[in-house]
Structure formats: C-alpha cells, structure tokens
Structure 1
Amino acid sequence: MTDPQVALFMLGIFILIVFLGFPIAFNLMALGIGFGYFAYYDPNRMWRAYNRLDETAGWWESARLWVEGLFNNRIFDLFVNQTYTVMSNEVLTAVPLFLFMGYIVERANIVDRLFTTLNVASKNVPGSMGVAALITCALFATATGIVGAVVTLMGLLALPAMLKARYDQSFAAGIICAGGTLGILIPPSIMLIVYAASSGVSIVKLYAGALLPGLTLVGLYLVYVVGRSILQPSVAPRPTAAEVPDLPLVKILTMLVVSFFPLAFLILAVLGSILFGLATPTEAASIGALGGMLLAVAYRAMTWQRLRESVYLTVRTTAMVCWLFVGSYTFSSVFSYLGGEQVISEFVQSLNLTPFQFLLLAQLIIFLLGWPLEWSEIIIIFVPIFLPLLGLFDIDPLFFGILVALNLQTSFLTPPMAMSAYYLKGIAPPDVRLTQIFAGVLPYVGMVFIAMALMYAYPQIVFYLPEQLYGR
C-alpha cells in the first residue's frame, strides 16, 4: 500500500470505530500513534540504541536499551508536543472558565425565577408561556452553553407548567428542545471557542459574526411560536387569571430587576467586554465565572456541595475537550504526513464544484455527522478536514464557522438521533411520547435551514458587525 492509501485506510478504521461507540479521544490517540509509528519509522534511529549493546551489558541495561530503541520514533515526540500545545493554548483557557460560569448559574436557582417573571410579563402575548420558555432557554443556554443541562432543567421547570396550562404536548416539547440548543450559536459560545482554536480564526470576530445570526434564529423561533399560537389557539391557550395573576406594573418591573436583569447584565458584560476589546475572552470568562458565583451568593444558592459539583463537572468536560484536541492533532498530523489531506484536496478539486456547491456539500456532510456525533467531536475532528479546502474556493473561514454553528443546531433536533428530544424524554411525564417530541422539533429544523439560506443570500448578516467593529 502507498502512504496515501494507508492514510485513507486509517480514516476508514476511525469512522468504523466511531460507529462502534468506542471513546473517540482515545481512539484518535491510539490510531495516531499506531499509524504514526509506521509513518515515522526510521530503522537507523531505532537501531541506534541497540548498537550500544555489548556482551558485557547486564540484563537491566540490555532491557533499557531495547525499550529505548523501541520508543525511538518521532511519533512520540509529536504526541508530547501536541499535548503541550493544546494545554498551553490561550484560546482554550476560556473553556473551563465559561463552563464553570454555566454550571454555577445552573445551580443558582436563577432559571425558575426568570421563567416565572417572563411568564407574568408576557401574559398578553399570544403563546405567552411558550415565549417566556423560549426566552428563558435562550438566556440560560447563552449563559451555560450546555445543551443537556438547559433542556433537562427547563423540561423539569417549564414543561409541566405548559402542560398544566393546556398547551399541546408536541408544541411545548419543541419549544424547550429548540431553545436549549441556542447556546451553541449565541455568544459567548463554547463551540465558537473550540472552532477558533481549530481554525485559527479570531474568537472576537467569531463572536461578532455570530451575534446577528443568533438573534435571527431566535427571532424566527419567536415568530413561529407567536404565529402558530394566533393561527391555532388550541396549541397555546391564553392563561387564566388563576394561572397567571394580573400584577401591577411596579411589581412586574421589580420582578424583572430581581430575576431577569442580573443574568442578562452578566451575559452582556461578558460579551460586551470581549467585543469592544476591553478584555480578552479568557479575562471576560474569568469575570463571568466570578459573576456567576456572586449571583449564586446573592440568591442564597451557593453551597459547598454545589460549588464542588460545578468544579467537578467543569474539570470533566474540559478534560474531554482537551484530550479530543490532543487526539485530533496527533491523528491529523499523521494523516497529513501520509498524504491523506492531499488526496482529499485533489478529489474535491476534481469535482469542479462552485463555492456554493462546496458549501452545500460540506454542510450536508456535517448535518449527517451530527446524528451519531457530538458537536465537539465534529468541530475538533472533521471540520479541520474542510478548513484547508476553504482557500481553494475563496471562502472566509469566519463565514464557514458561523454556518457550521447554525448547522449543528440541527444535530440536536433531527430525528432519529435528536439528542435534545432524548434529554427531554428522560424527564418528561410518561404520557409525553418520543414521537410527539420529534414532531415538535421538526418545525425548528426547518427554521434553522431558513436561517442558513438567509446567510447564503445575505452574507452581510455575518460580516456586518466584524467589519464595523474591527474592519476588514
């Protein structure tokens, strides 16, 4: 086999292992080191240690030199260097801080206050409880960036309230599942940090570029909720006075000040300090983590147990992301060294695609990968395969990254592997069937596609803020 054939064989084995369900980070490292040993094999380097053996050497010295010769391969140097590169990456330093902020906010009992307040404030809006749940999901998802946590918590809090208010089960489930995924796209998104580390694109520009598309998607969701509530009132009946009392304006404003504005201010302060150059993402994430702790203290929700859980979950998730990076960097280095990247590049060029066709093909592949894989695995492992091809089609990696972030919304919403639906089913009442949840999320998949079509038709939705704030 030629080296490029070995590279493609290596990629095929990895895809097979992914579908078998083995831990991906360790598989990447194992395949990278295993095939790298073959790729970087140098007989002279290997036998250099063996040649130092002589007849007078003892068994211990002989064994040591044999082991030294066995490991005298550049793949081990590469693996160590890649590990150090990932652990010292300044962009990735923001990941644990934003995760800690999210886990603290999740445990600070903020969400129930927020949902109750927005439900009262939006009482006169069609589908008011759905609107309140969607806005709560958007804010909470933005603060945490953890889809499973948002969907689970909102499923425990908002779903029973909507069902009690006679909302259609499918309609209510779709709102929570779709709203819970918004943190993937809306800054400060952890996914965009990971993409920035993979692509080399400025995280500040990514945040600026993602802001308008994120608000566009939220707007489409709200239009759907309100519009369907008007056209089909049976799915979202207006609340009675017993369900949502009429409160004085002063009381509503007080509730907003207590529950809505603190979290909104924290998010805006973190995001604004990044966008306007007042702080680096890592510094802003530090302030966000501190702000989350202060909010928890202010709401009297900070306990030693919750703090310990937040630290543990932060360390576990950060370790997963970082080891995925280590495995991906090692795997991709060996894959490129064997000529696999060149084979893919030549194959794509032979298809004579236009830039628009290439974008459609890339997004289709990412859409399909979203069924069996998490977003972190797609961004760290598969997106870097497309990045070297962007220059061939004169596609801005910033624009490509925002499209990928939009696309990954569908990975949590598209049956049969819609993880948001499974998160919700796990805590939903028994009479809420999985098929009902699937039916509820499908309209939101369509709205994601509409948002992507708008990005294709009007790229300035992505580029306007980065150009205004930072120039071309």
Structure 2
Amino acid sequence: MELIPLILFAVVCLVLMLGYPVAFTLAGCSLLFAGLGIVTGSFDPNLLKALPDRLFGTMSNATLVAVPLFVYMGVVLEKSKIAEDLLQNMARLCSFLPGGLAVSVVLVGALLAASTGIVGATVVTMGLMSLPTMLNQGYSKSLATGTICATGTLGQIIPPSIALVLLGDVLSSANQRAQLNMGIFNPTPVSVGDMFVGAVIPGLLLVTMYLAYVLVIARYRPQAAGGHQSKETTHWPALLLSLAPPLALVFVVLGSIFAGVATPTEAAGVGAMGALLLAMAKRKLTWQAFKESCLAATKTTVMVFTILVGASVFSLVFRGFGGEELIEAIFHSLPGGAFTATLVVMLVIFLLGFILDFIEITFVVVPLVAPVLLMMGIDPIWLGIMIAVNLQTSFLTPPFGFALFYLRGVAPKNVMTADIYTGVVPFIVLQLLLLIAMAIWPGLVTWLPSQG
C-alpha cells in the first residue's frame, strides 16, 4: 500500500508515453486511482472536497496572469515580423565578426526566447528565419542546427521567462508548505521577481559561453562558419535606430521588474501592450497578424492552465495516498543528505525531460519533491534556477530532446537528423558546465537577489 503513490506516478508516465493528452492523463489516472482507493478504503474521499477550492485558487492567482501576457508579447513580435527584422538587423550589426551570422542568431535567439518563453515556438521561428540563410552562407549543418536549437532553449533561463514564472509560483507554494511543516506559521513566499533576478547571471553566463564557442569555431574552423567576413557597408545610425525599439521593449519590461517598479504580472501587461504599439508603429500589425497572435496566445494559455488543473488533481490524490511522506522518507534515507537528494532529483528531472514538457514537469514533479528539499535547507531560488537549466539541457539531449524534434520539423530535407544531433552536443556540454558551476558556487544564483 505504501507504494501506491509511486505506482500512480509510473502509470501516469506510461500513459503519457502512449501519446494521450497530458492534462486528461493526469486527472483521469488520478481519479481512477482515487476511486479504487475509496473502494478499498485506502483513500479518504473527503480529500476530493478540497479540489474546487484548489482550482479556484489557481485560476485567481495573480502571478499566473503573467503567463498569457508574456506569451502574447512574444507571439505579436513573431507574427508582425518584428522578430524577423530584428534578426536581419542584428546580422548586419555583427557582419564584421567571423561567424557574425551565428553570433546574431545567439543574440536574437536570447531575446526571442525571453519574449516568447516557449521553447517550441522559438526553435521553429529561428529555424524558419535563419537556418536557410546560414546554410546558404556556407555554415556547416551541425553548427547551424546546434546554434539554433541551443538558443531556442534559452527561454528556460533568461527572464522574463514563462518557465521561471511557473516555477516561481510552484516553489512559492512548496516553500510555504515546507515552512508550515517546520513549525513556521508565518511562511514567506518565493517572489517571481527574485527568480528573474537570480536567473540574470546564469543566463548571461550561458549566452556568453555560446558566443565564445561560436567565435572559437569561426576562428579555428572558418570553413564551418561561412568561411569569410561580410564586406557589406554598414549604415550604423539607421541600423541602431531600427534595433532600438524592440530592444527597448525588452529592457523596459525587465527594468521595471528589477527596479521594483512593477510586479512580473504588471510588467507582462506593459510588454504585451508595448509589442502591440510597436507593431502598429511599424505598420506591421495587419488584421491577419492580430487574429493569429490572439489565437496562438489563447491556445498556449489554455494548454498551460488545463495542464495545471490536471496537475492539481494529481498532486491532491498523490498526497492523499501518502506520497509526500513517502518521498520524505526516501530522501532522508539517502546517504549524503541534501546533496544526494538534490542530485537524485536533478537526475530524475533530466530523464523526465525526454518524455515530458517543462510545463508538465513543473506542475507534476516539482510540487512533489520541492517541499522535502526545502525542508532540508535548500535555497528555493537556487533550486528553481537549477531545475530550469536542467530542463533546458534535457530538451537538447538526443535522441528524445524536444528542441531537436521541433527543428527537424522545419529543417530542409538535406539536413539530416544526425547533423542536428551532432550540432547540439557542444551546447549540451556548455549547459552541464553551467549546472556544475552553479552547484559549486551557489552565489552565482543567490548573490544578486540578496542585494535587493
């Protein structure tokens, strides 16, 4: 009977691997186990009475309002072709560098990842916009595809990131539950703004590592990076003027959060409205683009919140069967204490990243393991950033990385799957190095939030 929570988790993963919808799998399997538990007397039916309040609390959560707004901001920039113009202008700005196009892909990919926030959307957008150009300019297929896949996953770590919004909300609840279990009756929540601040240094480090890798390849293997520098004349004033508006939008959104002027939700509203005004000013907000933006943002929002509803049912039933106590007992029985427990959680999340999207892992796995880790003294901000980078790495890992599948779907036929797999390996190594660095020096994450 003590193993029922683990059996429930295994059944959910198995059904997901069969291709059934995530939200309905989570809720359906959980309610089925709850029904069997009620019949056998191993589950208290009164626990299900708490479900309506939990769902209402989720839907009235002001923090989660930032999700549709950040998604809409990114979708508008994409559908109105502002993102495409940004890539072209950034490519001209970096044309004097060896490997300048790849450098511009990393920089623009980081900006798109921050504004779009969804890995699939960023990888597909960058693949359609930049991959044909890179191949035409003589870039090797592996370097071109690896750069695009890796920069597309930066949305996991660079604020304002939807992944960090969701992780911040989940970890806030987990931290309050952990503190209540430790007898602290005035628990402190985890701020999404602090999550954003904590991600700044790791995000900048990762982008810097990507840029350094691209520049080193262009220096020592020029035939893999186009083979030559552009001789095109750059009109700097006009170029900088065209780059200023979209960059200003991103910096206003982040600056208002970091300065404490606006909450992440309020900044998301500013970003969404700013993207609309920017598209209107450039006369690129056609009626078709507006409709597509609204539809795409609505689909993503409905997907996120439907999964959240299913995950709420799952977590309630999991705890009803004593799952939280089981995880706590397992973690405390591990040799090495908090270090080993954290290592095991990171490994499990990494492996689950092959079959589950970051949203499912955030809503299903993190609420189960985070309270126990936090009670063991782990810093919630550090844990959240570690999980974000971990998931980012799993999305690139062959053969099941989601980012690889996204790019495979839009890549030309002459680009082989093996080219994509080969191209992402160096970037996976860089991400693992960042994870190790954050584990050795937690201050990379925690120092900046502590200054506020």
Query: TM-score, normalization: structure 1?
Result: 0.88
Match of 1:289 in 2: 272
Q: In structure 2, what is the equivalent of residue 228 of structure 1?
A: 217
Report the equivalent of 2:241.
257
- CA positional deviation for 1:11: 2.4
- Aligned partner of 2:175 in structure 1 is none
- Equivalent in the alignment of 2:378: 395
Give the letter aligned to residue 348 of structure 1.
F
Say which of 106, 112, 120 aligns to 2:84: 112
Q: Tell me the CA shift for residue 416 of structure 1.
A: 0.3
Equivalent pair of 2:12/2:29 in contact (CA under 8 Å): yes
2:292 aligned residue: 309
Q: Structure 2 counterpart of 1:184, which letter?
A: Q
Aligned to 2:360: 377
* Cross-structure match for 1:237: 226
Q: Which residue of 1 aligns with 2:193?
A: 204
Q: Give deviations 1:84-111, integer Å, cap 9, x for gaps.
A: 1111111111111111111111112112
Identify which range, 326-335 or 173-182, moves more after superposition: 326-335
CA contact (8 A) 1:127 1:226 kept: yes
Worse-superposed segment, 286-295 or 330-339: 330-339
Aligned to 2:181: none
Return the alpha-carbon distance in structure 2 between the equivalents of residues 295 and 88 of structure 1.
30
Q: Give 2:63's aligned residue.
A: 91
2:344 pairs with one of 346, 355, 361: 361
Q: CA deviation at 1:352?
A: 2.2
Question: Deviation of residue 411 (structure 1)?
Answer: 2.2
Aligned length: 433
Q: Structure 1 residue 357: deviation in Å?
A: 2.3
8 Å CA contact retained: 1:41, 1:73 = no
Q: Do the aligned residues in 2 keep the contact of 1:120 with 1:252 (CA within 8 Å)?
A: no
2-structure distance, mates of 1:402, 1:311: 30
**2:113 paired with 1:147:** no
3-state SS, counterpart of residue 64 of structure 2: coil
Residue type matched to 1:350 in 2? Answer: S
**SS across alignment from 1:188:** coil
Q: Displacement of 1:75 after TM fit?
A: 5.2
Shift in alpha-carbon separation, 1:16–1:42, aligned structure 2, 3 A: closer
- Counterpart AA for 2:332: Q
Deviation at 1:7, TM superposition (A): 2.9
Work out whether residues 213 and 451 of structure 1, in 8 Å CA contact, stay in contact via their aligned partners in 2: yes
The correspondence for 1:123, drawn from 78, 83, 95, is 95
Structure 1: distance between partners of 2:379 and 2:401? 30
Displacement of 1:391 = 3.1
Alpha-carbon distance, 1:115 to partner: 1.9
Q: Partner residue of 1:8?
A: 6
Change (3 A) 1:310 1:30: same
Listed one character per residue, the Cα deviations across residues 215-258 of structure 1 (whole Å, up to 9, x for unaligned) are: 010000001000111111111134465xx5123xxx22321221
Q: Is this contact kept in 1: 2:100–2:229, CA < 8 A?
A: no
Deviations 1:250-291 (A, max 9, x none): x22321221x22111111111111121111111111110000
| 2:391 aligned to which of 393, 402, 408 | 408
Whole-angstrom CA distance in 1 between matches of 2:232 and 2:291:
38
CA 1:42/1:83 → structure 2, altered by over 3 Å: closer, same or farther? farther
- Residue 246, structure 1, aligned to residue 229, structure 2: no
Are 2:150 and 1:178 equivalent residues in the alignment?
A: yes
Change in Cα spacing, 1:32 to 1:81, as seen in structure 2 (3 Å) is: farther
Q: Is the Cα–Cα contact under 8 Å of residues 79 and 292 in structure 2 kept in the other structure?
A: no
1:390–1:240 Cα change, 3 Å? closer
* 2:217 partner letter: R
Check 1:392–1:281 CA distance in 2 against 1; reply closer, same or farther (3 A cut). closer
CA 1:107/1:450 → structure 2, altered by over 3 Å: closer, same or farther? Answer: same
Structure 1 residue 38: deviation in Å? 5.0
| Matched residue, 1:63 | none
Taking a change above 3 Å as real, the CA distance of residues 347 and 42 of structure 1, as seen in their structure-2 partners, is: closer
Change (3 A) 1:42 1:80: farther
2:429 to 429, 441, 446: 446
**Inter-CA distance 261–173: structure 2 relative to 1 (3 Å threshold):** same
Structure 2 unaligned segments of length 5 or more: list them. 173-189
2:324 — aligned with what? 341
Shift in alpha-carbon separation, 1:162–1:75, aligned structure 2, 3 A = same
Percent of aligned pairs with the same residue? 39
| CA distance in structure 2 between the partners assigned to 1:290 and 1:332 by the alignment | 35
CA RMSD of aligned residues (A): 1.9
Say if 1:371 and 1:411, in contact at 8 Å, map to a contact too: yes
Give the drift of 1:76: 4.9
**Unaligned residue ranges in structure 1 (runs of 5+):** 44-71
Deviation at 1:40, TM superposition (A): 6.0
What is the match of residue 334 of structure 2? 351
**Cα distance in structure 2, aligned partners of 1:138 and 1:398:** 21
* Aligned twin of 2:184: none
Q: Show the 5 A alignment for 1:7-86.
A: 7-37=5-35, 39=37, 74=46, 76-86=48-58
What residue identity is the alignment partner of 1:245? E
Q: Distance in 2 between matches of 1:312 and 1:274?
A: 27
How far 1:118 moved relative to its partner? 1.8
Matches of 1:317 and 1:178, distance apart in 2: 22
Structure 2 CA distance for partners of 1:164 and 1:12, relative to 1, 3 Å: closer
* CA–CA distance in structure 1, aligned partners of residues 85 and 223 of structure 2: 27
Partner amino acid, structure 1, of 2:151? G
- Residue 226 of structure 2: SS of its match in structure 1? coil
Contact 1:36/1:75 (8 A) holds in 2: no
Query: 1:328 corresponds to which residue?
Result: 311
Report the Cα distance in structure 2 between the residues aligned to 1:74 and 1:400, rounded to whole angstroms: 33
Query: CA separation in 2, counterparts of 1:143 and 1:425?
Result: 23
Contact (CA 8 Å) 2:47, 2:320: kept in 1 or not?
no
